[in-house]
C-alpha cells in the first residue's frame, strides 16, 4: 500500500464527509465539578461519550477517528487522578475491545506506552492484535502522546537507520511518524472551550480544518459531531492555492 499523501507535498482529496477526524476531548473535569461530582465521574462519562462518538463516526462513513486520551503532559495531574484514569483505560479495553472487533473497528494506540504498567500494555497489545485486520473504522487512541515526542522519535528512528545522512525530507521521515498508517486529519475538534492544539498531532495538522466548541466532552454526541461536520463542509480547503484557482478547477470544460 502506498504511503498516505502529505498535504504540503500534494493536494489531498477532500470529500463532504471528513475521512479522518481527530479530537481533543476536553471538559470532563468541569462537567463533573458543575455537578459537584469527583473529576473521575467526568472521565467515566467521557468514556461513554467515546463509545457514542465511535458509533456515530462509523455510521457517517468516517474512516479514521483519533482521540487524545492522555498527553505527555497529563502526568502533571494529581497522582490519584492519573491512577484512576489508568484504571479507566484498563476497564475500557477489557470491556470494549471485543465489541469494537465485532463492529469491524481496528484499534491502534499511539504514544510512548513504555511508561504504562505491564497489564495495561498487555491489554493494548491484545486489542491491537485482535483488531488488526478490521477495515470499517480505524480508532486511534493517543496515550502518553505528544506531537513533539512524535517528531523526535521519528527523527531518532530515521537517524538510527540512516546514520550517515546529513539531510532529511518529508517523504523520508513520514514512515517513522506514529500515525504513518493514516491520512492526515481533515477535521480537528476540540471540546471544552479552549482554542489550542496542546501538543497534539503537530506534524499531521498542517492543513487540517480546526473546529472548537464550548460543549464539554461528556455532552458530545452524534448531533454535536454533525455540527462540526457542517462547519467543515462550509470551509474552502485551498491547500495553499487561491480561491480563483479552486473555482477554475470546478468549472466544467467547454468543448
* Total residues binding ligand FPP (CB under 6 A): 19
Give catalytic status of residue 74 as yes or no: yes
Smallest distance, ligand FPP to C-beta of residue 249, A = 39
Interface pick for ligand FPP out of 22, 141, 177, 228 (rule CB under 6 A) = 141
Helices (H), 144-221: 147-161, 170-173
Q: Give the one residue of 22, 58, 62, 89 binding ligand FPP; rule: CB under 6 A.
A: 89
CA distance 146 to 73: 8
Nine-digit cell at 206? 498542517
Candidate residues 21, 23, 65, 69; the one interacting with ligand FPP per rule CB under 6 A: 69
Which one, 28 or 144, has the nearer CB to ligand FPP?
Answer: 28
Residues in Cβ contact with 106 at an 8 Å cutoff, skipping those fewer than 6 apart = 131, 132, 133, 134, 135, 136, 137, 138, 139
* C-beta of residue 153 within 8 angstroms of C-beta of residue 203: no
Smaller CB separation from ligand FPP, 73 or 248: 73
Question: Could you say whether residue 229 binds ligand FPP (CB under 6 A)?
Answer: no
- Cβ-Cβ contacts under 8 Å for 1 (sequence gap 6 or more): none
Stretch that binds ligand FPP, among 67-75, 114-122, 221-229, 234-242 (CB under 6 A): 67-75
Binding residue for ligand FPP (CB under 6 A) from 19, 43, 106, 108? 43
124 binds ligand FPP (CB under 6 A): no
List all residues 6 or more positions away from 143 whose beta carbon is below 8 Å from its beta carbon: 69, 70, 89, 109, 110, 111, 113, 116, 124
Spatial strand order in the sheet of 64-71: 105-110, 137-145, 64-71, 20-24, 187-190, 209-212
Per CB under 6 A, the segment of 86-94, 105-113, 121-129, 168-176 that binds ligand FPP is 86-94
Footprint on this chain of ligand FPP (rule: CB under 6 A): 25-30, 43, 46-47, 50, 67, 69, 74, 88-89, 92, 141, 192, 217
The catalytic residue positions are 26, 74
Amino acid at each position: 500500500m502506498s504511503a498516505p499523501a502529505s498535504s504540503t507535498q500534494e493536494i489531498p482529496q477532500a470529500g463532504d464527509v471528513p475521512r479522518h477526524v481527530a479530537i481533543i476531548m476536553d471538559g470532563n473535569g468541569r462537567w463533573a465539578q458543575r455537578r459537584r461530582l469527583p473529576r473521575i465521574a467526568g472521565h467515566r462519562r467521557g468514556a461513554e461519550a467515546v463509545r457514542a462518538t465511535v458509533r456515530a463516526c462509523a455510521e457517517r462513513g468516517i474512516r479514521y477517528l483519533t482521540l487524545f486520551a492522555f498527553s505527555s503532559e497529563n502526568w502533571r495531574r494529581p497522582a490519584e487522578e492519573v491512577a484512576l484514569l489508568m484504571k479507566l483505560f484498563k476497564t475500557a479495553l477489557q470491556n470494549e475491545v471485543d465489541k469494537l472487533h465485532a463492529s469491524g473497528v481496528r484499534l491502534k494506540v499511539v504514544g510512548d506506552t513504555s511508561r504504562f504498567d505491564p497489564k495495561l500494555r498487555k491489554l493494548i497489545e491484545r486489542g491491537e492484535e485482535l483488531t488488526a485486520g478490521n477495515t470499517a473504522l480505524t480508532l486511534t487512541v493517543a496515550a502518553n502522546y505528544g506531537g513533539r515526542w512524535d517528531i523526535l522519535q521519528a527523527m531518532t528512528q530515521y537517524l538510527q537507520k540512516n546514520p550517515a545522512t546529513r539531510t532529511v525530507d518529508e517523504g523520508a521521515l513520514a514512515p517513522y511518524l506514529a500515525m504513518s498508517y493514516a491520512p492526515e486529519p481533515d477535521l480537528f475538534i476540540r471540546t471544552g472551550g479552549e482554542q489550542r492544539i496542546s501538543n497534539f498531532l503537530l506534524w499531521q495538522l498542517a492543513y487540517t480544518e480546526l473546529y472548537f466548541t464550548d460543549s464539554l466532552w461528556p455532552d458530545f454526541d452524534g448531533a454535536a459531531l454533525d455540527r462540526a461536520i457542517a462547519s467543515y463542509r462550509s470551509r474552502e480547503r485551498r491547500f495553499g492555492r487561491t480561491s480563483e484557482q479552486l473555482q477554475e478547477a470546478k468549472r466544467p470544460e467547454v468543448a
